Structure 1
Amino acid sequence: MGQSSRQSTLKVTLRYPASAFLYRATKPRLRLDGVDVPSTGWGVQRLPVSPGDHRVEVWVPYILPRRAGRALCEITIVKGQGSALEYMAPTVTFARGSLGAPGEQGSTGYSTVMVFNVIAVIVVVAALIAFALT
């Protein structure tokens, strides 16, 4: 029996939110069962895997934290069947990434950023009103 008949494929889609465009300048890191997997960057990665249980870890290298948006997932690969995962980087680097079923992963930290944006707008408007009244 050849090597290809014992292998399945794990498709991992690596994404980041459009509002976090700085991720474009980085390349996410992917680890399968504790071993670094060469990554071509954002987008779809196809990994040959043997059937059985596997641990997938994804993060984005950063200054602080060193592993921004770290996410882990345990997956069972069935012989002869392909499997898929999706990673979504967080909006805020200190938040956790999301790794799991394709189409169900959202960016963590988005609501926090929006709250800070609303507060900033309110402060600016209040300052402009105060300035106009004086």
Structure 2
Amino acid sequence: MTTPPPDYGNASRQHGGYSPSQQPPPQPPGQAAITINSIQGFGGGTLYGVNDPDGPTILVNSHPVPAQWGTSVIPVPPGRHHVRVFVPYRFPKEYGPAEITVDVAPNQNVALEYRAPKWTFSRGALGPPPQRARGVGASLLALAVIFLVIAIIAVIVGALE
């Protein structure tokens, strides 16, 4: 494996995401970049409160790069790059892992979107924007089971009185 160039992983970041009107800063001639827009789950976490206020962990070719929720612009040399994103957590250690391999041409900026899943044990979504959140069905099923158990307990308690 080759060593990355000196500016590899020095991501410039804009909090809050990006839109087509907000382009990342221009790269030096021949320099390429990968722009990742990271989106959290339910209102800043999942149904169960999984959230890392510092943002997800982004690895490019197994090298960690600075990242936060919102937009991270990662300068990379032209070529093929393996991108892996996850949110650090207690269990599982890597919540919402997702990965993709992208080819980046000279002077190209490849836009990706990472969306954390709604269910703790689901994979995240990583690819060209827009990405759909995963784990919605599992989260709704878990909520339904919880409410069903509470209703059964309420009926049992009411019958005992």
**Cross-structure match for 2:24:** none
**Cross-structure match for 1:112:** 138
Alpha-carbon spacing, 1:26–1:5, altered in 2? closer, same or farther (3 Å): closer
**Residue 61 (structure 2) pairs with residue 33 (structure 1):** yes
Q: Is the 8 A contact 2:52 2:88 kept in 1?
A: no
**Cross-structure match for 1:45:** 72
SS at match of 1:83: strand
User: What is the identity, as a one-letter code, of the residue corresponding to 1:34?
Assistant: S
**Cross-structure match for 1:18:** 42
CA distance in 2, matches of 1:35, 1:98: 20
Number of corresponding residues: 130
Q: Is the 8 A contact 2:50 2:120 kept in 1?
A: no
List per-residue Cα deviations over 1:56-98 (Å, max 9, x = no partner).
Answer: 0111111122222111100111222221001111223322111
**Residue 149 (structure 2) pairs with residue 123 (structure 1):** yes
Q: Is the 8 A contact 1:68 1:94 kept in 2?
A: yes
CA distance in 1, matches of 2:140, 2:85: 25
User: What is the identity, as a one-letter code, of the residue corresponding to 2:87?
Assistant: V
Give 5+ residue unaligned stretches, structure 1.
none
Which has the larger strand fraction? Answer: 1
Deviation at 1:106, TM superposition (A): 2.2
Q: Is the 8 A contact 2:52 2:87 kept in 1?
A: no
SS at match of 1:92: coil
Alpha-carbon spacing, 1:132–1:65, altered in 2? closer, same or farther (3 Å): closer
CA distance in 2, matches of 1:65, 1:130: 35
**What's the Cα RMSD here?**
2.1
**Residue 59 (structure 2) pairs with residue 59 (structure 1):** no
Which has the larger helix fraction? Answer: 1
CA distance in 1, matches of 2:128, 2:158: 52
TM-score normalised per structure 1 = 0.83
TM-score normalised per structure 2 = 0.70
Q: Is the 8 A contact 1:26 1:60 kept in 2?
A: no
